[in-house]
A and B are shown apart, each in its own frame.
Chain A
């Protein structure tokens, strides 16, 4: 006996599962994140490429230094002092959580746990 029907059904299910993103997206790449820079600012604490891939490392480092080692000395780059802080450092320039955090995090499905402790800035409430 062949059980051809079962085999073909199984294959169709397999191919259906394997191509899940294709039919889920339905040929629509969706909305791309708009990556903007804060208006009027020219420099960040690190080069753009590095910030784009590795900002989370710096945030972690700052958190550890500030909260666990009580080292709140400002972070100095090119003579410019930056507060070691998400809320009053980063978000000084990158003022808008929606625009500067969520835009990409939502797109890449990253859910940082910053906001487990921090209240998002008021304008976003």
Chain B
């Protein structure tokens, strides 16, 4: 944990100092973001393609409900899908509603011994809140990257700020984002089981994303920055038309810290557990129909040389016993004393 914390502090310092050096602003504002974005997309695609290079030899869905069986037995279509369409719904529920996590239970042992299980949705709640807030926040940021801005982003802006508290208006997602992340972090500290399995790769992204959130919030509500200049830079990044140097100078240091942390996240993403974003789509226990008996699944490396121990070999081993026991045989017993081939 301390490694991860120090790493994030170091990143903040790098950006903070770097942005002070004349000329480095364009490195932090343009070169690094571009590189980071390319690494993010390239790395993401690379990782997914690497996964894709390995086949799915067997159809191994986790059947979390009644499968397709006799017509009159009610199938749990979305927990045990039998068709492509049902799989798609299972996947949508998994990806957009975190369905499996929603089933979470908490087990305890009491004297007796007595084991108890109760529904436990906190992890699901914090997880889904965090992910949706992150998504909305990223989409909201599109107001800075697009000119003109598409209408759906305006709608998001309006919805997210509809409490109309303060100026600039407080975003609901900003609050929930920090709350959910804090919960996920505290859970790692407080829950002995999770704490025991957590290490740098779990704390680092938490700290990093939390820092991104905090610097963003600071910029909006406390250490305000010149949004017009930032948008000129952001749109410039998307159109390869870079703003004049004086525009860069109008942008405060906090922005460069925020941006540098985001860049770090993008570079880190493809090589970390954050790839679960891609992995969930490819998970063979979720994205396959439970129809292995209905439709043959082909394993590209199926070794046809592996044959069962043959019946002929079996009968050769046991022919005498079989005949004596009245079991039918393919080949009769040899005439007395004739050796078996």
Chains A and B touch each other in the complex, with CB atoms below 8 Å apart: yes
Q: Which residues of A contact B (CB under 8 A)?
A: 1-4, 7-8, 10-11, 14-15, 18-22, 24-33, 35, 49, 52-54, 56-57, 59-60, 104, 107-113
Do residues A25 and B228 form an inter-chain contact, with CB atoms below 8 A?
A: no
Interface centre among B40, B45, B51, B167 (most CB of A within 10 A): B167
Which A residues are CB-close (under 8 A) to B45?
11, 14-15
CB distance from B42 to the nearest CB of A (A): 10
Cα distance A15–B278 in the bound complex, in angstroms: 12
Closest to B231 in A: A108
Give the number of A-B contacts (CB < 8 Å).
Answer: 108
The A contact surface, by secondary structure, is helix
Task: List the A side residues contacting B282 at CB < 8 Å.
Answer: 7
Partner of A21, one of B145, B240, B298: B145
Residue of B147, B154, B164, B297 touching A25 (CB-CB under 8 A): B147
Q: Closest B-chain residue to A60, C-beta based?
A: B167
Question: Does the CB pair A29–B56 fall under 8 Å?
Answer: no
Interface of B: prevailing SS = helix
Query: Given the complex, which residues of B lie within 8 Å of A49, measured CB to CB?
Result: 226, 250
Q: Give per-residue flags for B270-293: 1 if the beta carbon is below 8 A from chain A beta carbons, else 0.
A: 000000001001100000000000
The answer on a CB contact under 8 Å between B48 and A11 is yes
Report how far A107 CA is from B229 CA in the complex, Å.
11
Enumerate chain A residues within 8 angstroms of B236, measured Cβ to Cβ.
Answer: 29
Q: B22 at the A/B interface (Cβ < 8 Å)?
A: no
What are the residues of chain B within 8 A of A59 when measuring CB–CB?
A: 167
Q: Does B239 touch A at the CB level, under 8 Å?
A: yes
